[in-house]
Amino acid sequence: MSAVDELFTQLRARGEKAFIPFITAGDPNLQATSQLLAALVAQGSHLCEVGIPYSDPIADGPVIQASYTRVLKSGIGLEDIFQMLQKTVRALAAPVVTMVSHSIIHRRGPANYVEAAKQAHVSGLIVPDLPVEESSELQAICRDVDMSLIQLITPNTPPNRAEQIIAATTGFIYYVSVVGITGERQKLPQEILESVQSLQEKTSLPVCIGFGISTPDHIRMLAPVADGIIVGSAIVRRFGSTPIKADAAGMDPETLKEVEAYVKTLTTALAAC
C-alpha cells in the first residue's frame, strides 16, 4: 500500500473525507512552498498536491498557468523542487502527491523520475496528459515502489473508457467536476453528484473531486458523494501577487495568514459534513 492508500483507509474507517489543497512548487519561492505545506497540514489538510511547473500545462486555467510561468522564469528547476520536498515532506503528517506533465517524466525517463520522486518522499503522481492506453509502463514502475498513479475522469469520459482508467489507477480517482480548465466557479453543476455516485458503483477506489471548487458551500454540496475535495486556483491566487525570488527566505507573513484563514474555512466546512 502507498501512503495515499493508507490515508484513505484510515479516513474511511473514521467516516471522514479528505481535504486536498494544490499549490505550485516554487511559487513564490521554494522556502515559501515548504512553509505553505506545513501550514496547510496544520489547518486540517489530509493530503497535499504539488504542481511541477511546466511551460504547456494541459488543463490548468490562467491562475495556475501564471504561477507556473513565474516559477519557470525564476530559474527554479525540478532538482531544486525535489530537494525541497525531500527536506519538507518527511516532517509532514500528510502524504504529498505531484501534478506533473508526462513530458517531464518522459524526458527524465519514467524509472528515473519515479525513483527521484520516491527519494523526495512523494507518495503519488497525477499525470493529466498521460493517455490510459500508454500508461502501462508507468503503472508497473509505480506499483513496484508503492507509488500511487492517480488518473483523471471527466464528465465527458465515455463509460468504457472510464472503466479502463479505473483499472489503471491507484490511490484515488481524480474526478474533474466541470468541462474545461481549472479555476474558481460561482456555481458547480448539480449533475456532478449523480456522476460521482455512478462512478463509485464501478470502483472501490476513493473518488476525489477537483476543478472549480472554492467555497464552503461547494464543499457542503460535494461532500456527501466525494471521498475527497481538491482546491487549487483559489489558494494559488492568494499568493500570486508575491514577487518570486528563487533565493528568498519564505512567504510574506500576512499572505501566509490569509491562506491559512481561507483553508481553515474549507477544512472546517468539510469536517462538519
* Concatenated DSSP letters of 85-136: HHHHGGG-SS-EEEE--HHHHHHH-HHHHHHHHHHTT--EEE-TT--GGG-H
pTM reported for the whole predicted model: 0.93
By C-alpha distance, which of 49, 51, 61, 2 is closest to 26? 51
Strand partners, 23: 50
Domain boundaries, position 111 = 3-271
Q: Dmax of the chain from CA atoms?
A: 49
DSSP SS3 for 55: coil
Q: Is residue 117 pLDDT above 90, yes or no?
A: yes
**Taking residues 1-27, what's their average pLDDT?**
96
**Taking residues 92-114, what's their average pLDDT?**
97
**Taking residues 152-163, what's their average pLDDT?**
93
**Taking residues 104-115, what's their average pLDDT?**
97
The pLDDT of residue 187 is 59
Which cell numbers hold the place of 154? Answer: 471527466
Q: How confident is the model at residue 241 (pLDDT cuts 50, 70, 90)?
A: low
Burial class (CB in 10 A: 0-12, 13-18, 19+), 272: exposed
Residue with cell 489530509: 46
Q: Is residue 139 pLDDT above 90, yes or no?
A: yes
Hey, CA dihedral for 57, 196, 270, 171, is it positive or negative?
negative
By C-alpha distance, which of 241, 240, 248 is closest to 80? 248
Q: How many angstroms from the chain centroid is the CA of residue 191?
A: 23
The structural domain count of the chain equals 1
Alpha carbon dihedral 73, 183, 123, 161, in 10-degree steps, equals -120
The pLDDT of residue 175 is 95
DSSP SS3 for 27: coil
pLDDT digits (tens, 9 = 90+) for 17-52: 999 999 999 998 999 999 999 999 999 999 999 999
pLDDT digits (tens, 9 = 90+) for 167-213: 999 999 999 976 544 434 455 667 889 899 999 999 999 999 998 89
The pLDDT of residue 189 is 64
Strand 207-210 and strand 173-176: the pairing is parallel
Cis peptide before 243 (omega within 30 of 0): no
Report the catalytic residues.
49, 60
The pLDDT of residue 248 is 58
Question: Which CATH number characterizes residue 113's domain?
Answer: 3.20.20.70
